[in-house]
Copies of this chain bind each other. A is one copy, B any other.
């Protein structure tokens, strides 16, 4: 009898470029490793505030390093990541609250398969972290939703749902769940191993994570990505 698949939860926000790297890598590995990958869209601003953390960008050298680090990682990971022209404005002034409410609403509509959550999240990441486009306006969510395969009616319905109290509450509760796992930023990857939650922060612990869940890390491209980027 094969052993049961280990649940791996990915807490992320589409404003976070390192979350995108983790997201794509885990999407590539979910059929290679014996895991059940669960998407946990949450609000990075809430996790930073709740944990008392500061964004890396407020330290000038960290910001410069991050730019270079992301450039190298995007090439090595083969993910078309390119910083927005004004990262401070995009990440901290404009933020992602409405975007993550939209993703949360998609998740509510797509409880079974999570195919749409994956596609919509990817489209939003591509907007902010590849093509330097807005992710705060309803028109932006509509574009992302349509590209992800939703119909105009479905997008309309999800846009309305995203403004509802239950969705606001849901996003809050998933964000609180991340804080309960002692996350202080995203991506925050929670692996459930033998009844214990092993928490990994960032997109640089895959080798260690693989070791913890009894799998093997063979680099960021275990197979050719199946999802069109």
Does A150 have its Cβ within 8 Å of any Cβ on chain B?
no
Across the interface, do A59 and B65 meet the contact criterion of CB distance under 8 Å? no
Across the interface, do B72 and A61 meet the contact criterion of CB distance under 8 Å? no
Bound: A53/B183 CA distance, A: 20
Does A76 have its Cβ within 8 Å of any Cβ on chain B?
yes
Asked if A211 meets B76 with Cβ closer than 8 Å, knowing A54-B54, A201-B65, A204-B204, the reply is yes
- Total copies of this chain within the assembly: 2
Across the interface, do A61 and B53 meet the contact criterion of CB distance under 8 Å? yes
Does A68 have its Cβ within 8 Å of any Cβ on chain B?
yes
Q: A158-201 toward B: CB 8 Å interface, digit per residue (1/0)?
A: 00000000000000000000010011100000000000001101
Asked if A207 meets B219 with Cβ closer than 8 Å, knowing A59-B51, A65-B201, A68-B199, the reply is yes
Does A223 have its Cβ within 8 Å of any Cβ on chain B?
no
User: Given B52, B62, B204, B211, which contacts A53 in the complex, CB threshold below 8 Å?
Assistant: B62
Asked if A61 meets B51 with Cβ closer than 8 Å, knowing A72-B212, A208-B73, A212-B72, the reply is yes
Given the complex, which residues of B lie within 8 Å of A212, measured CB to CB?
A: 72
Which B residue's beta carbon lies closest to that of A72?
A: B208
Chain A positions within 8 Å of B, measured between CB atoms, are 51-54, 59-62, 64-65, 68-69, 72-73, 76, 179, 182-184, 198-199, 201-202, 204-205, 207-208, 211-212, 219
Q: Taking A52-B59, A52-B60, A72-B208 as given, write out 5 further A-B residue pairs in contact, using a Cβ cutoff of 8 Å, ordered by the A residue number.
A: A54-B54, A61-B179, A65-B184, A204-B204, A207-B219
9 closest A-B pairs by beta carbon, nearest first, are: A204-B204, A61-B184, A51-B61, A61-B182, A53-B59, A62-B184, A64-B182, A52-B59, A59-B184
